[in-house]
Amino acid sequence: AQSVTQLDSQVPVFEEAPVELRCNYSSSVSVYLFWYVQYPNQGLQLLLKYLSGSTLVESINGFEAEFNKSQTSFHLRKPSVHISDTAEYFCAVSDLDQTGANNLFFGTGTRLTVIP
Amino acid sequence: EAQVTQNPRYLITVTGKKLTVTCSQNMNHEYMSWYRQDPGLGLRQIYYSMNVEVTDKGDVPEGYKVSRKEKRNFPLILESPSPNQTSLYFCASSLFSGTGGFNSPLHFGNGTRLTVT
């Protein structure tokens, strides 16, 4: 089965500084890739996704992620963070080689804390 | 407004007392799923359902039951809760059809924080 690694469980960063949240998955088969964000006391919501086409995908609030097949990574970046970006971020991978409906795998999450 | 509604948001109960957490979606999604979220472990899938009367185990199904009698509802049942089921639970739904990769986003409820003493 696919495994998804988010090495950083917590990332503190000062406001207006850049940030990168790392996500690696276990194999280089065909995949769909997602980042979800969980704001305090809320459920997860989709931030951005890669299904096909351009390997660089962007969200409406300034985040971007790049699919790197050779490094099996999908790191999330933002050039300048705001206080409102404080949240937990989850990377998720769907393994197209695994049949059935149980082929979406989540990482353990990275808590981003933006410091004023 | 398209949404997934879970109730209750908070629940404190005692060991062995049966409980049900309700989940309802208004998007006509066929796929629904329950997850639990624990610190350091991320999200783990409990059960999922591809359609009415079609349910299947996820990664951590022990101690839980589900039913899917209607398309919009997917309740989570704990017949005899134990303290190790203290967790934050999320229901989610998706347009995912069940074939190929999971290419449709999941829509999550706001969560149910369960404490079993």
Instruction: Give the pLDDT score at A3.
Output: 87
Instruction: Give the pLDDT score at A28.
Output: 63
- The helix, strand and coil proportions of chain B, stated in percent and rounded to the nearest 5, come to 5, 50, 50
Structure tokens at A32: 């769909």
From A81's Cα to the closest Cα of chain B, the distance in A is: 23
Question: Among A103, A78, A115, which residue's Cα sits nearest to residue A25?
Answer: A103
Which residue(s) pair with B92 in the sheet?
B33, B108
Instruction: Give the pLDDT score at B110.
Output: 94
From chain B, pick out residues whose CB is under 8 angstroms from the CB of A96. 100-101
Residue among B40, B45, B90 whose CB faces A43 most closely = B90
- Give the range among A60-64, A67-71, B97-101 with minimum mean pLDDT: B97-101
Q: Cβ contact (<8 Å) for B102 and A49?
A: no
For range A64-79, the mean pLDDT: 95
Residue among A90, A96, A102 whose CB faces B58 most closely = A102
Q: Estimate to the nearest angstrom the gap between the alpha carbon of B12 and the chain centroid.
A: 17
Residue type, A7: L
d(CA A61, CA B33): 28
Structure tokens at B88: 């934050």
pLDDT at B97 over 80: no
The Cα-based distances of B58 to A107, B9, B34, B48, B77 in angstroms read 16, 23, 9, 7, 15
From chain B, pick out residues whose CB is under 8 angstroms from the CB of A89. none
Place of tokens 């769909």: A32
d(CA A109, CA A8): 8
Residue A71: CB atoms within 10 A of its CB come to 11
Run of H or E including B38: strand B31-38
Q: Cβ contact (<8 Å) for A90 and B42?
A: yes
Place of tokens 């407004």: B1
Mutate to test the interface with B, among A44, A97, A111 (most CBs of B within 10 A): A44
Q: What is the pLDDT of residues B30-43, one digit of tens each?
A: 999 999 999 989 99
Confidence tier at B1 by pLDDT (50, 70, 90): confident
For range A30-39, the mean pLDDT: 94
Residues of chain B above pLDDT 70, percent:
100
Q: What is the pLDDT of residues A83-106, one digit of tens each?
A: 999 999 999 998 877 766 677 899
Residues of chain A above pLDDT 90, percent:
77
For range B82-87, the mean pLDDT: 98
For range A9-25, the mean pLDDT: 97
